[in-house]
Amino acid sequence: LTNKVGIVTGAGSPFGIGRSLVMSLALAGAKAVYATDLTLVNIPSLQQEVKDAGSSCQVHGAILDVTSEDQTVSVLKKIIAMYGRLDFFFANAGFGNYKTLEDTDAKYYDFAINVMQRSFFLALKYGGNAMCNTSDEKPRPSGSIIVTSSMAGVSGAISDISYSTAKAAVAGMLKSASVQLSASHIRVNSIAPGFVKSSIAEVFDSVLGRHAEEKYYYNRIPEPIEIANIGVFLASDLSASVNAQNIVADSG
C-alpha cells in the first residue's frame, strides 16, 4: 500500500476490526489513514501504536457521523485537499444489539439502517467520486471500497433483524456499485465475519460467546486482526481481479 491514502470508519473503539484495520494498513505501507468515529478518545493511543510499530503512516483522527451526507463529504474534501488522492475506503462503522423482533421498534430499525446501510451508500457515492481525483502521483482514477458486512447478512441472526437486514442489503449494493464504478477502475467488495472479538461483541454475554466458540472450527473466536488482514488484501493491488465479492471469514 505504498503511497496509498484512505479512510476507515468506526475506528474509534478501544479494540475491534476498525482499529485493527488502521494498524494493518499502516504496517502494509499506507501513506495516510483517516481513522473516523463519533469520538476520538482512543485515537491518540492508536497513533502511538502505529508509531511504536515503526510505521511512518500518518494516522489522522476525524469526527464522523457516517449517517451524515455533509460530514462524509467534508472529511473526504479534507483528504483530497491534504493528499490529492483517495485509494481505499473502509465502510466499517456499525453496532449490534441483542433485540428480538418484538423488542425492535421502528425508530431503532431506521437508526440501524442509517448507520449500516445508508453509510455504505454515502461511501460508494462520495468515496467513489473522491477516488476519481487524479494527480501526477495518481494519473488515473482507481480505488477500492470495502464494507464490513456480516454472516448475519448471509444466514440471518437469532436477534436484531435490523442488523441482519442492513448487512444483507450490502450484497445487492456492492453488486450494483461494482458495475457502475468499474469504468473508473474502482472495485467494491465486502467482508462477512462471523463472531469476532470486538467492542460490538461485548454486547453479547459470555454465554453467547462460549456458544459461538463451540460452533467454530478450532474452537476459538477469530481476532479482529484476522479480518483486518483480509481488508489489507482487498485494499491492495494483490486483489486487482477481486470485485463484487462478499468474502466470508468465519473460520468455517
pLDDT in tens, 211-233: 665 665 566 778 999 999 999 99
- CATH code of the domain containing 134: 3.40.50.720
Task: Label the pairing between strands 88-91 and 5-8.
Answer: parallel
Please state, in angstroms and rounded to a whole number, the distance separating the CA atoms of residues 33 and 87: 10
Cell of residue 224, nine digits: 479482529
Please state, in angstroms and rounded to a whole number, the distance separating the CA atoms of residues 123 and 7: 10
Please state, in angstroms and rounded to a whole number, the distance separating the CA atoms of residues 8 and 52: 20
Enter the pTM of the model: 0.93
Please state, in angstroms and rounded to a whole number, the distance separating the CA atoms of residues 225 and 22: 10
Identify the H or E element spanning 165: helix 161-181
Please state, in angstroms and rounded to a whole number, the distance separating the CA atoms of residues 164 and 161: 5
Give the distance between the most distant pair of CA atoms in the chain. Answer: 56
Cell of residue 142, nine digits: 482507481
169-180 pLDDT, tens digit per residue, is 999 999 999 999
Strand, coil or helix: 70: helix
For the beta carbon of residue 99, count every other beta carbon within 10 angstroms: 18
User: Within the chain, how many helices (H) and strands (E) appear?
Assistant: 10, 7
DSSP secondary structure letter of residue 22: H
Cell of residue 181, nine digits: 464504478
- Domain tally, the chain: 1
pLDDT interval class at 109 (50, 70, 90): very high
Boundaries of domain holding 109? 5-249
Rounded to an integer, the average pLDDT of 77-96 is: 97
> What pLDDT sits at residue 217?
58
Where do we find the cell 457516517?
Answer: 66
